Amino acid sequence: MDDLVLGAAHWEDIRWIKAGLSKAFEMTDLNELKVLLGLEITRDRSQRQLTIHQQRYIDRIVNRYGMNDARPIATPLDLHTKLLAGTKTDGEDNQIESVPIEAYQSAVGSLMYAMLGARPDIAYAIGLVSQFNHSPRWNHWLAVKRTFRYLGATRHWGLRYWTSNVSGRYSDADWGAGEDQKSVGEFVFFLNGGAISWTGKKQNSIELSTTEAESMAMTQATKDILWLRVLLDKLGAFAHI
């Protein structure tokens, strides 16, 4: 059994597609989309608003890793703490104490799915802690737990879209943020009041200045926006222009 979500500029197009598929396959029409792969979709048609959130998914993963009763916190990452790969020469025990790789990778993967779905606000934190999947240490695990605490405190947050002219693109770079001196580039795109695409990723090369790092981040953002423009055009988003 496969789930299929249809989207088109006009209801007539969706009805035509469903009619064609029904002739070729045995199909059940579940009508308006409400849940998809852990994403919860709610609509307020009187206000012409659509909201995507993952509250039930976040409830599940926060409880799975024993963070349900943890003290809430306002940020997903402590920016004053620099995470480094642990070695046997580190001075503090809490820096070199290892953490089971399977548990660490599972926790990071659970957080990553929330980030990919409706929580772009944890993209930077996930990009950072995922760099230590090969050899996690206790300080890395504390950073992961902090992100769980943040999600637990903001589990009801989501992405809301409405008939708004709020749209745009933001990109930036954290110069030399990685242990290997590579910068981290980030961007986010907004359309109709909400984010539709985002990333926080370490750059492939070492940049010599903040200007170079930000230029690389802008280049990656431009590539993505060109692809999004083609997609939106196929969906008929520019038909009214």
Q: How would residue 3 be classed by pLDDT, with cut points 50, 70 and 90?
A: confident
CA distances from 207 to 187, 198, 202, 203, 204 (A): 17, 22, 11, 9, 9
Please compute the mean of the pLDDT values over residues 144-173 and round it to a whole number: 87
The pLDDT value recorded for residue 240 is 59
**59 and 143 co-located in one domain:** yes
Residues 56-89 have pLDDT tens digits of 999 999 999 989 888 999 999 887 777 777 654 4
**178 and 149 co-located in one domain:** no
Q: Which of 153, 178, 206 is the last residue of a domain?
A: 153
Structure tokens at 222: 């431009």
Domain assignment of residue 23, yes or no? yes
**78 and 140 co-located in one domain:** yes
Domain assignment of residue 214, yes or no? yes
d(CA 16, CA 27) in angstroms, rounded, equals 14
- The string of DSSP letters for 3-20 reads ------SSHHHHHHHHHH
At residue 204, what is the residue type?
A: N
Number of Cβ atoms within 10 Å of the Cβ of 193: 16
Q: Which of 129, 153, 177 is the last residue of a domain?
A: 153
Domain residue limits at 61: 55-153
The pLDDT value recorded for residue 96 is 59
What is the rounded average pLDDT for all residues in the chain?
Answer: 84
Domain assignment of residue 123, yes or no? yes
* pLDDT surpasses 50 at 231: yes
Domain assignment of residue 83, yes or no? yes
Enter the DSSP assignment of 195.
Answer: E
| CA angle centred on 233, ends 227 and 236, rounded to 5° | 150
- 150 or 165, which is more confident? 150
The pLDDT value recorded for residue 143 is 92
Which residue, 165, 70, 58, is CA-closest to 122? 58
d(CA 99, CA 186) in angstroms, rounded, equals 28
**62 and 132 co-located in one domain:** yes
**73 and 146 co-located in one domain:** yes
**19 and 76 co-located in one domain:** no
* pLDDT surpasses 60 at 95: no
Please compute the mean of the pLDDT values over residues 13-27 and round it to a whole number: 87
Structure tokens at 208: 């010599």
**86 and 126 co-located in one domain:** yes
Structure tokens at 204: 């492939």
Structure tokens at 41: 């979709």
The pLDDT value recorded for residue 90 is 46
Domain count, the chain: 3
Contact 182, 176 (CB under 8 A): yes
Long-range Cβ contact pairs of 10-17 (< 8 A, separation 24 or more) = 10/236
pTM of the prediction? Answer: 0.79
- Which among 37-41, 79-83, 86-90, 170-174 has the top mean pLDDT? 37-41
**148 and 183 co-located in one domain:** no
